[in-house]
Chain A
Amino acid sequence: MMHQKSVLRVVSKLLIPPILLFALYVQFHGDFGPGGGFQAGVIFAAAFILYGLIFGIANARRTVPASATRTMLALGVLLYAGTGVWTMLLGGEFLDYNYLASTPIAGQHLGILLVELGVGITVAGAMMSIFYTFAAQTLDGDEDIEEEV
């Protein structure tokens, strides 16, 4: 069934790498242009969701296992809150990025980068986890899927 949709397969194969690259651009260029962690996370997840839709959920799970998306989910929040705790350990208040580097501006840059990365990781993990969960409901009879849920 999936093998017959050659147009979709070829087009998605061409599109997925630029989508991932664009997600990284939006993530790390959010300080200068529109975008940031939330949008980047969604675009990053969209690339894997597109892969899952075209090449099957089992292949998508082999690329990014469900356990990895759940780890990402927690990791992002930990990175965000951890940045806040780190600034406290350095003598500032919670999420006061001025203490992260030698000058306040450099500290703000580093802090925003870390925090946006945390948001991006959590959002990407959340979107992929939700997609996997919905997809697993549809393919209930498949033994391979049930093993990994």
Chain B
Amino acid sequence: MPELVIKGGRVIDRLGERVVDVAIEDGRVVGVGPDLEGDRVLDAGGCVVSPGFVDLHTHLREPGNEEAETIESGSRAAVLGGFTALVAMPNTTPTIDDASVVREVLALGRESLVDLYTSAAITMGRKGDTLAPMAELTDLGVRIFTDDGNGVQDVRLMRRAMEYATGLGVTLAQHCEVEALSAGGFMHEGEWSSRLGIPGQPAEAEELMVMRDIALSRLTGCRIHFQHLSTAGSVEMVRAARDAGVGVTAEATTHHFTLTDAACADYDTVYKVHPPLRTDADVAAVRAGLGDGSIDAIATDHAPHSPEAKERPFDSAPPGMLGLETALGLALTELDLPLNEVIGALSWKPAAIAGIETTHGADIVDGSPANLTVFDPAHTWTVDPDDLASRSRNTPYAGRQLVGKVRHTVVSGEAVVIDGGAQR
């Protein structure tokens, strides 16, 4: 008899939707059909069973800032949010830009609850001066390179990085921000920054780099992935580039389709994030981009910060907010999209961008890897920061009511979340 069976759920993947049981043994799906038996039964009545979610953009803070998060605590937050795989961002201390740090992160990942992949920096120390040893790191399994937190400012260096990447078959992910325009700005430049007297960053600081990198992708043939798109202009340019056949992909965060710069009205630093929260029109454009597929993936940009770090003036507090445990609820509550499209943006689309589509986001059939998320799309709950598994509490959604919650998460055949509780 199989070790585990998920009973009575609506299975939704790229093949469609059917109500079947899913049997699991040795990390793989060994049966899909009616009335399956197993040693252990996970009830999925009223729930959706989907391929596991993949977050392309997670800050786990280890090594270097374990007070805010560790790979272990972040992985628990991830599986509680339905994520079976994460791509860790490289802005740790030290930077993930050499083989020893990549090995350390991956080793810690193997002990964690989630299937952890790591990105690595494009340039040494994310300083934008010299290229990181991309071939060596690719050999260790890195598939995404990014200087996240900084865009690569030097256009010649970015061109070289892209050319070099094409020889490795890896993807470059860009945090689009022209620092000459954004430097000294701490929120979106516009009506609210003018009212609050907070120096702003114009939308064009992001858009100019999106425009530049689309051109470089055309020039080099390198796939470029745009991180956390936040402006209407960015979405429009990515849409046009895709229509023209340029190899670009994009993600949007849950906060960029949920919140606007008006949230900064009380100088609450929980709303400080980069790229900054934008306007209603930008939120609408991001939603439309997810709706028509111009934006592939929903990402969290989960960015834990300790309370002390956020108890600073708005201009000196670090940017970033939590996201892993609220992503599904926000996507289902805020986006007016069919279930299978929400799942696609959380699962198989980011899996393909991360180059892990055979292990995560795969269709649920005999023999596929057992990385699965079971969620109740009608479960209403209220976000309580104290209930989060992250070590940090910087969620902007405290007290917000969300519809949709993860019930069980299966990673490599192991039920790491059962009935909303982490099993280790």
Partners in one complex: no
Q: Which residues of B contact A (CB under 8 A)?
A: none
Q: Which residues of A contact B (CB under 8 A)?
A: none
